[in-house]
Structures are given as C-alpha cells and as structure tokens.
Chain A
C-alpha cells in the first residue's frame, strides 16, 4: 500500500498519540500510583520509560518505516524464519479487536443513558410491590446495580450462559460501524479522524481537572495520591508493574506501530516523534491520575460525610437530643460522651453505629472497568449538573477507546492487505469488522463479562512480552545491530547514538527477559486462575475459580499467538529445504534458457 500515506507527519504523530493514550492511562495508571506509594511510583515509572519504553517504541517505528509493510511482511523481510513474529502480533491484535470494542459499547450505553433528568445509576429502582428499592440494589450500591444488572445483566458465574443483551448488542453494532467508517479509506480517513480523537480527550481532561479540583474534598484525594511512600520502592512488584505499565501503555508488540509507520515517508524523522509520543503518553497518565484522584477525593469525602450524617441522625433519634446539639464536626466527640453517660442505651445501638473513616474510603483502590464505570459514575452522580459531566466523561472514554481501536484494527488490516487476499480496501475492512462484530456478540451475553475479563487478563499480556522479546533479539542479534544502524542512517541521515545502541542491544533485552521470567513464575505460583463473579444475593463480587474448560481456553489463548513463532520458523525451514532440493534439479534447465 505505497500510495496510501499520511498526508503529513502530524497525522502520524497524532495517530500514535491517539493509539497509545487509551483507557489504560485513565484507569490503570492511577490505580498503580495508589498501590505503589503515590508520588514515589513516578521514579520506577520514568526509569522504565527511559530504559524500556522509548527504545522499543523507536525500534518498532524504524522497522515499519523501513520495510513499509505490515507486521507479517516486515518481519518476514527481516528474517524469513521469524515471520511468525508478525503473525503472532496479528493474532494478538485480533483478540484485542474482539474484546476491546465491547468497552466502547458500554461507553455508548452509559452515554445514551446520561440524557435523562435523573441519572439511572443515581438511585435504586423501586421493586414491583412499590414497597422499597430492589433488593439486589439495596445490598449493593445503585451504581454497581446499574452496571452489573442493567448494563450487563450478569449471571452468577462463567458457566451460566444466557441470552444476548439486546441493548449491548446494538451498542456494539454502533461501535463497529463507527470503526468501519473511520478506517474505510485506510489512513486517508484515519488521518483526518485522529486530529479529533487525539486532541478532544485532552480538552475534556482539562475541563474535568478544573471541575475536579474545585469539588469539595478533592484535595484529600490529591494529597493522598502524591504523598510518596518510599518503602514501596523496595518491593520488586513495584518495578515490575512500572515496566509492564509502560510496555502495555505504549502498545508495543501489537504491530500497530509498525503498521502506522509503514505509511510514512521514507525520510520521516521518527526518532524525534518516538520521544514525543512516549513523553506525551506518560504525561497524560500523570495528568489523568491527578484528575482521577481529585474525583476520588471528592467521592471519598462525600461518602465520609454521608456516613457522619447517618451516625448523627442515629444518635439524635436514639437519645432524643435537640437537632443542633450534634453537628458533623463533633460527632465523634459525642459518641464518646454518650457512651460514657448512657452506656446501656448506647449498647442498644449495637451494630447500627457505623465507623466513618476517610482513609478507608480513599484506600478503596479500583482499576479497570470498576473504576471507569462504577466509581467514576458514582462520583459524577453527586456533582451538580451531573448529566453534563456524565456526557462529557463518557464521550472522553469513547474517544480514548476508539483511538486505540483504530490502531488495533489497522494492525490487523495492514498485513492482510499486504497479502493481497482482497484488493478493494473497503471490502477487506468491512469483512474484518463484520467478523469481529459477530464474534464480539459473545461478550454481550449474560456471562460475557467473565469471558471479557479472561481475554483482558490473558489474551495479550504474556504473548506480548514474548513477541517483543523475540523482536528485540531478532533486530539486534539476528538481523544485526550494525545493519539496523545502517538502515536508520539511510532513513534519518545520522547514525544511532550510543543511547539507542546500549538500550536496544543490552538493557531492554535483559529487562524483558526478567519480566518474562517473572510472569511465568507468578502464573505458576498463582495456582488455579480465578475471577470475580457477581453474587446477586450478597450484592458483591466473590472470587471464583475458573472451570476446567475455561482454563483450557486460557491456555489456548496464550498458546495460539505464541506458537505462531516456532511453527512459522519450522514451516519456513521445511519449505526452504524442499526448495533447495528442488532447485538442484532445475538448475540445468535455467542455464540453457
């Protein structure tokens, strides 16, 4: 696809930014920051960015721009035995395409439901007798009820399948139609779309930052996040989580970066762009976590003060004191006082007296869909003019998700169009989108969220580490760092300086091997893989083990992408041998011709 090129380098940079800045920056980085000591986490994060993230990003862009082919063609060109690396990337990207758009479907669902005078997750719906709220909602919270019951209609475990949720299916259809629309003309259309998908989320984040820091109690959250707990740096998991976060946040190993770069002009200065995109990605993570933590602080303070209010009312009602004797500030003082003066009556309160703890509220760290759809929507419902904030927030989630989706689908389409199965691009794109839509409907069933979690946890993590490890070793040692240097000089006009050489040839492979070993050890030590199943009766999630067939499926997910590499190597080896033996017979005829 040499004719299909980015209109200008800006489109390429924005496409990379739009791809790299995704939901992970919003819902995973703040969680890691909180778990691993707040401000102190920035140290391993920045270090891993410099040692691992930027060099590998640079390498992928270089390969794409030089070979001007998608991942399969590019890796086959570098080393025919390791063409499987490209295949493994495509398979992994395909898995990602299947499940990632379901998140966009949820964002659409929430977005459409924001256009109501009372947000549907603000209060519990009334039960059929009109006597009180629905029990499941009573035991859980309205936001959890809305997510698990009305959005997902989730079943009790992965084994209980159910029908397709029509609303979800419609939203998924819409999401895929929009993806199709954005990629229908290849990078010509994508190039224009990324101007919007890359920049608008920042606008929303800025608006949210202003709104967030002006909310009552937000300072508690921000203080909590930035207070460094340096002792966390001594734990190895901190460093490993920093490395994996950089790794997955930049989207290495999926083939998207190679695909994007293949549409570049030959002499495009990707070195500068690699640094810019990586910095922007990390900067966005930090910026988004400030926003998230101010919202967290608001939510925690709101819940804390509601708790205090309930305790105050309880004390007033039980001891029949005048209304203005107890205020929110002196509730705790009064608890001690009343315990002293009326011990028997105080004891009769029993379990109804709650302990209100701001720290405990802040400590509830959540990541992933739980943060984005449950915690955030809970905070939004308490803001004034909540419908506006809700609409803004879910539009931002949509843009972040769509931007990443573009990269995923292009990573699959570029190698397929290189293979020239179908010549007309829009038909190929349509076919891929239709295929992913039909398979993705499986995630809209009642047990679909459990399969989604399985894909999310296992579909891409392990295989990516393996793929990128093989990539680095291939480029530096099989292809040769000297030849790579010459290619880069050819494209950029100057040689690789020692930073790139040391990182690519030395530090990054070592770090990747360490990460890889850690993952395997962790997986083996973890025992039977488990998942969180939503229990209707209790109104919360319980840890459940995967049934045997699900575990087999996990193994299949992991193996299917990884084994592309050895299988292709074997296949190429056999083909070359057959070709070599065949050539000897044909040499006589060619000489005469």
Chain B
C-alpha cells in the first residue's frame, strides 16, 4: 500500500519536481535561443514538439558522449519556459538521482566544442557542438547557448605568408624583364657596331639631312634664320 502511494506520488510528483528544477535563471540551467528563419529563410521548418524532442535527444547524446559512463536519456533533459522567439531554458538531471542537477560547468563541457568551418572530423568528443548544430541545420550563431561561447578557430598560419609568394613571383618577373632588356641592348649594340663598319657613310648622310615630322627634307636646316631672341639681352 505504502509502496503504491509512493509510486503514485513519484509519478505525480516527478514532473512537478522536474518543473521546479527547471526555471528561468536557474543556477544550473542554460538558455537556448534558436533562429530558424534567419538561418534557413524560405526552407525554415516549424518548431514544434517533435523538434523539441530532437533537441532533448541530442542533448542526451552530447552528455553520453562526454561522460561515457552514465546512460542519459531524453527524460534527463528538462525544458521549460518556451517563448515564441523560440528560446527556452533547459536543465540536465542525473539519470541515477532525478533530483540532482548536473552542474553548469559539466553541461558546458559536454556542449562546447571546437567549432570550425572545416568539414566535420568524426574523431574526438569535442565535436558535439558541431553535431548538435548539424542536427538542426543551424550554426553557432543561430543555435545559441547563452553563456557558452564557441571557442574560435585556431588561425591558420602557413609557413610562408601568401603575399610573399605573389611578391616573389612579381619581382622575379621584373628581374627577368631587366635582364632581357640588358641582353637585348647588348645584342643591339653589337649588331650596330658590325653594321657601322659596313655602311657607315650612308648613316652619316642620312643624319645630316633634317628629318621634320617624318618627312625627309632634302635641304639642311639653316640655323641662320632661327630666332635668337630667346636669349634676353642684358
């Protein structure tokens, strides 16, 4: 009889107890904010009970992955205070002891992960956040755990900065151009010296005749008729 009463109390009281455990601004709870329409636009799905169930399942999954010892279930994730924004509070209770809340820090460790933009590397248990995001087709910005900051990606530092590579290419091309110019001018000089010895007389004649505007004048420009006034008399 007593057992039946206790069982009845437990069945009635557990949800009530659960509800009192989960409250806004609970000390061991986190607030989650989801922005589906911002992330997916026209392809946004409706947030309903089923999606909430998926959330509880993924949270249980994250807890299992992190601890590897205890078996978490959907019932261990308690959600409350859901708003139209789609934001809600959740707390995690221990599977053994329904009245004990998992501390905030442990929940954070289970959830937070190295979030990168690279494709998922299915290795360590640090990819939980990534898996949680992917389950909902969301990102760190649209599935926010308020209070858990995603650790930023390690900056990729290549051995040679890329700009130096481009610089090297350009300056190599420039030096090649200079060498080409020097070689060509040297070759031209050598060719001219060979040519000068053969028809030197013709060259001199051509230079004596004035070349004005590309037209070969037959006369020689008589400097006697230039205006010497440009030198001011003092």
A associates with B? yes
Question: Which A residues are within 8 Å of any B CB, using their own CB?
Answer: 66-67, 77-80, 108-109, 111-113, 115-116, 125-126, 130-132, 167, 170-171, 174, 177-178, 181, 184-185, 265-267, 316-317, 320-324, 479, 483, 486-487, 490, 576
Which residues of chain B come closer than 8 Å to A185, judged between CB atoms?
A: 181, 185
CA distance A316 to B86 in the complex (A): 10
CA distance A113 to B36 in the complex (A): 36
Given A126-B153, A267-B213, A323-B38, verify A112-B230 contact (CB < 8 Å). no
- Contact, CB under 8 Å: A130 / B151: yes
Which residues of chain B come closer than 8 Å to A181, judged between CB atoms?
A: 174, 177-178, 181
Given A67-B230, A77-B231, A126-B155, verify A174-B170 contact (CB < 8 Å). yes
- Contact, CB under 8 Å: A125 / B84: no
- Contact, CB under 8 Å: A177 / B37: no
CA distance A324 to B84 in the complex (A): 10
The closest CB in chain A to the CB of B35 belongs to A323
For residue B149, CB closer than 8 A to chain A, the reply is: yes
- Contact, CB under 8 Å: B227 / A486: yes
- Contact, CB under 8 Å: B83 / A320: yes
For residue B154, CB closer than 8 A to chain A, the reply is: yes
Question: Which B residues are within 8 Å of any A CB, using their own CB?
Answer: 33, 35-38, 83-87, 149, 151-155, 162-167, 170-171, 174-175, 177-178, 181, 185, 212-213, 227, 229-232, 234
Residue from A66, A112, A131 within 8 A of B166 (CB atoms): A112
Which residues of chain B come closer than 8 Å to A487, judged between CB atoms?
A: 227, 230
The closest CB in chain A to the CB of B231 belongs to A77
- Contact, CB under 8 Å: B37 / A321: no
- Contact, CB under 8 Å: A316 / B85: yes
Known: A80-B234, A181-B174. 16 other contacts (CB 8 A): A77-B231, A108-B170, A112-B170, A130-B152, A131-B149, A167-B163, A174-B170, A177-B174, A181-B177, A184-B181, A317-B87, A320-B87, A323-B35, A323-B86, A479-B232, A487-B227
- Contact, CB under 8 Å: B37 / A324: yes
Which residues of chain B come closer than 8 Å to A171, judged between CB atoms?
A: 167
User: Which 8 pairs show the lowest CB-CB distances between chains A and B?
Assistant: A112-B163, A320-B83, A322-B84, A323-B37, A320-B85, A112-B166, A113-B163, A126-B152
Distance to closest chain A CB from B184 (angstroms): 11
CA distance A486 to B229 in the complex (A): 10
CA distance A108 to B167 in the complex (A): 8
Which residues of chain A come closer than 8 Å to B33, judged between CB atoms?
A: 317
Which residues of chain A come closer than 8 Å to B175, judged between CB atoms?
A: 177
Which residues of chain A come closer than 8 Å to B212, judged between CB atoms?
A: 265-267
- Contact, CB under 8 Å: B155 / A125: yes
Which residues of chain A come closer than 8 Å to B38, judged between CB atoms?
A: 323
Distance to closest chain A CB from B171 (angstroms): 5
- Contact, CB under 8 Å: B234 / A576: yes
Distance to closest chain A CB from B8 (angstroms): 37
Which residues of chain A come closer than 8 Å to B171, judged between CB atoms?
A: 174, 177
Residue from A108, A112, A130, A321 within 8 A of B84 (CB atoms): A321
CA distance A266 to B175 in the complex (A): 37
CA distance A365 to B4 in the complex (A): 80
- Contact, CB under 8 Å: A174 / B174: yes
- Contact, CB under 8 Å: A115 / B86: no
CA distance A498 to B33 in the complex (A): 78
- Contact, CB under 8 Å: A265 / B213: yes
Which residues of chain A come closer than 8 Å to B229, judged between CB atoms?
A: 483
Distance to closest chain A CB from B211 (angstroms): 9
